[in-house]
Amino acid sequence: MPELGLGTDQGANKKFASIKEGTIRVKTTKDDSSPLLVAREWINPQTKEEGVSYELKYNFLCGVITNIEFREPTFGGNQINVTINGVTLTMDTSSRFATHFMEKLPNIDLKKVVYVRPYDFEAKDGKTLIGLTIKYDNSDGDKIWSAFNVKDPKTDKWSVKKGFPTTDAVKGEKDKWKIHFINVKVFLTEATEKFLEKAVFETVEVKAPVEKESTIDQALSEDEPF
């Protein structure tokens, strides 16, 4: 298994990561010599301010989950922070990435190493697929599925467990969909809080790597997330 600890010039072992354009990003500077360095242009939808962020780009994050917590940033909204071996992955609770994580969390064995891989791409039918794949290994199998949307192996049909929000909204009914997604976020946040009341996390020693390039994962994969 690759070394997962994150090192900084100050010697700290903890780093924050986010998800941008379907990949995991760690903020850095334009002077960073890592081959993983990318420049991402952005526009603030409210202020119309434009800028460029310099980040290290990774396909997935793997390790043992050592902490999960909710936060309310000063700029508004809500976040769920998932710490995996010294790396704290921050997701907005309204995002599909956070939704997928919270749906699958009850099925995750917290004692095992997990591979967390975000995706955001256009499928062959033109639909945009956004979400989070979680596995116990980096092969095609052993995926962790939602604890609330269950597939019947006999009928091959999906059904939701009692209590999970449903909607009769159809394409074009934006307000109904907004209400539905809010209900889902509230439901999953409450379910996650109940899960955390009894969760027992493993204590993992995080070793800072010698080189910055060995941060989240040395073995980057180019395969599709499914």
191 — phi, psi (to 5°)?
-65, -40
46, two tokens: 């409210």
How crowded is the C-beta side of 4, counted as CA atoms within 13 Å?
22
Distance CA 210, CA 29 (A): 19
**How does residue 223 score in pLDDT terms, banded at 50, 70 and 90?**
very low
Predicted pLDDT of residue 148: 92
Predicted pLDDT of residue 140: 65
**Which is more confident, 155 or 212?**
155
Terminal-to-terminal C-alpha distance of the chain: 21
The model carries a pTM of 0.81
Predicted pLDDT of residue 75: 67
The pLDDT tens digits for 59-77 are 999 889 999 999 987 666 7
Q: Is the pLDDT of residue 7 over 60?
A: no
Q: Are 136 and 112 in contact (CB under 8 A)?
A: yes
Residues of the chain with pLDDT > 70, as a percent, come to: 80
**How does residue 10 score in pLDDT terms, banded at 50, 70 and 90?**
very low
**Which is more confident, 123 or 179?**
179
Q: Is the dihedral of CA 63, 67, 71, 75 positive or negative?
A: negative
**How does residue 135 score in pLDDT terms, banded at 50, 70 and 90?**
very high
Predicted pLDDT of residue 74: 63
Predicted pLDDT of residue 158: 77
**How does residue 109 score in pLDDT terms, banded at 50, 70 and 90?**
very high
The pLDDT tens digits for 159-172 are 888 789 999 998 89
Average pLDDT, the chain: 81
When pLDDT is averaged across residues 138-149 and rounded to a whole number, the result is 81
